Chain A
Amino acid sequence: MFDFAIAGIHAPLFLLMLTGFTVGIVGGFIGVGGGYMVTPALIVFGFPGYMASGIDMTHIAGKAVIATVRHRQLGNIDWTLGLAMVGGTMLGVEMGVRLLSYTKALGLSGVVLLMASVAIMIGLFLYTQIETHRAQKKINQLSSEGKTVGRELSTSSLPKLFQSIKLYPIVRCRTARLVISMWVIVLVGISTGVLAGFFGVGGGFIRVPALVYIVGATTHIAVGTDLLEIVVSGGYGALRQSMMGNVDMIAVLFMIVGAMFGAQFGSIATSYVRGPAIRYILSYSLILATVGAFLRLVYILSGAKFEVLNFAAVVFTLGEMIFLCFFIVSLVVFAVRFRQGKWVPPWIPSLVVSA
């Protein structure tokens, strides 16, 4: 147990490092900050809510830098795309925060927030699942025809639609091999930023699918580029939270040390898999978070009568972190076995790369 003088609590350092480690794996792999998992975990460890949000946001900035360094080495970052999106994201986050204040003033925030998040996450989950399933089938079909299948395969036709908008200025993103109107990138930044600001999260779980299905980036580049976005938005959040006195830096320090190991594993793990594998895990993270949010929604709508629902929401949110880590680690283990020519489940070859 460690005495956190600023937060004013005693909490085990080991659990903080473990949280940093697990969220580091998930964040490095699917390109999210993981705020929706870390804040509840810190509250469970005894940190007050405002402090949990501040520590979470600050650690996300540091973890995103670590993962970005590794994704840069793997060639997963399109700097033009990332930097073009930053302005829109920041504007969107500010708009989302104001929208939240407005709904709060109307006395609606709790229910509206949960209903909107449940609806959006279910929509994203279904679209990602259906599209990824189609992509996996196509990979199997191409493989059976004896063709070499690339690392990325997406069956969505949405990117072509958005790339056909010829509204100047047109941006050329070399790494992502995209030629797209700057306005599309900015609008994606604003809309995902609004959702992030409204929900009070980093927004990676919305931005990664948006980069894949609207902008047309490959999943790996979407993950790396999104982490670059998180460095900027997380850094701004860390500055604001620190100025409000909501950050205990020692807690952040230990979480970052844990995240260093986790983010390395998560980032390097992306080099073992194809795009659809990342999209599958992203969609599972969405649906698990949705179940947690749905349980809390039912709890609120029932007039906070059934405490068991709230408890189940906590269990789901924390369990999600462990489940996703286990899933990612299993995928890497199977990818290594596949490379060595050992037995793997039949659904694995279409999700991993052979070398």
Chain B
Amino acid sequence: MADPAKTKGTIKFLVWGILAVALVYYTWHSYSSGQMITWYYWEANQDGYAINADTFRNATKEKPAVLEIGSFAAISGLQAVKVKKGDRLPQNCNGIISEKIIKEGKRATLDGNSLKVTVPTETKEAKGFKYKDSFKHKGIHTNPWSGVQNLFMVIGMGLTLGYMAEGFTDMMGIKLQKIKHYEGAH
């Protein structure tokens, strides 16, 4: 006859395992379908030009990237869309070159109906460690619901994976008893 504790463990493992797989699939689907990315690059947080920073990451002062300014619904390659604070961002946009940066003229300048980018990255530091910072993520505002969605997913994953692992050890017959903290001299 099957050990009831092991049977209970198997049920626990299966139920939480299915929930964990469903949550992982949902996260993966939200990411790969572009829904999560759209929520991230939601609206402009400052006046400037919406761009896709990945398209000109190799630009230099000698070989600047020239971005065509227009009112595109989706950014494709070297294009930029003028936006004001609070505007919804065009598709494929992942950052904003602010009016301030253009006025400074050190990294990007306006040239008629185009935007010339000469310094796409600068070296910054976080907790003492250096990294290359681009225009990506600059001046954008994330949909507040993405924070709630992420929190739900991460806590959900923690719970489902945690209980699934607990079910697994129960199923395998690995008895994990409560620790007796106060036995013996202490």
Task: Determine whether B115 belongs to the interface, using a CB cutoff of 8 Å to chain A.
Answer: no
Given known A50-B126, A142-B185, A250-B27, contact A66–B162 (CB-CB < 8 A): yes
Whether the Cβ atoms of A39 and B150 lie closer than 8 Å is no
- A45-67 vs B, CB cutoff 8 Å, 1 = contact: the mask equals 00111111100001101111111
Number of interface residues of B (CB under 8 A): 57
| B156 CB, nearest partner CB in chain A, Å | 9
A220 to B28, alpha carbons, bound, how many Å? 36
Whether the Cβ atoms of A58 and B154 lie closer than 8 Å is yes
Which of B128, B146, B159, B181 meets A65, CB within 8 Å?
B159
Task: Determine whether B98 belongs to the interface, using a CB cutoff of 8 Å to chain A.
Answer: no
Whether the Cβ atoms of A70 and B165 lie closer than 8 Å is yes
| A24 CB, nearest partner CB in chain B, Å | 11
| Residues of chain B contacted by A242 (CB below 8 angstroms) | 142, 146-147, 149-151
- A236-266 vs B, CB cutoff 8 Å, 1 = contact: the mask equals 0011101111110110110011001001100
Number of interface residues of A (CB under 8 A): 77
Which of B131, B153, B181, B184 meets A48, CB within 8 Å?
B131
| Residues of chain B contacted by A247 (CB below 8 angstroms) | 150
Whether the Cβ atoms of B185 and A239 lie closer than 8 Å is no
Whether the Cβ atoms of A152 and B53 lie closer than 8 Å is no
A76 to B181, alpha carbons, bound, how many Å? 9
Binds A, one of B60-68, B73-81, B99-107, B172-180: B172-180
Task: Determine whether B109 belongs to the interface, using a CB cutoff of 8 Å to chain A.
Answer: no
| Residues of chain B contacted by A153 (CB below 8 angstroms) | 185-186
Using a CB–CB cutoff of 8 Å, the interface residues on chain A facing chain B are 5-6, 8, 36, 39-40, 43-44, 47-53, 58-59, 61-70, 73-76, 110, 114, 142, 147-154, 177, 200, 218, 220-221, 231, 235, 238-240, 242-247, 249-250, 252-253, 256-257, 260, 263-264, 268, 270-271, 293, 296, 299-300, 310, 313-314
The contact sample of 30 A-B pairs, CB cut-off 8 A, is: A6-B37, A6-B40, A40-B127, A43-B129, A43-B131, A48-B137, A49-B125, A49-B126, A49-B127, A53-B127, A61-B155, A62-B155, A65-B157, A66-B161, A74-B179, A75-B181, A150-B182, A150-B183, A151-B186, A200-B127, A220-B179, A235-B151, A240-B147, A242-B146, A242-B149, A245-B40, A249-B31, A256-B161, A264-B169, A268-B176
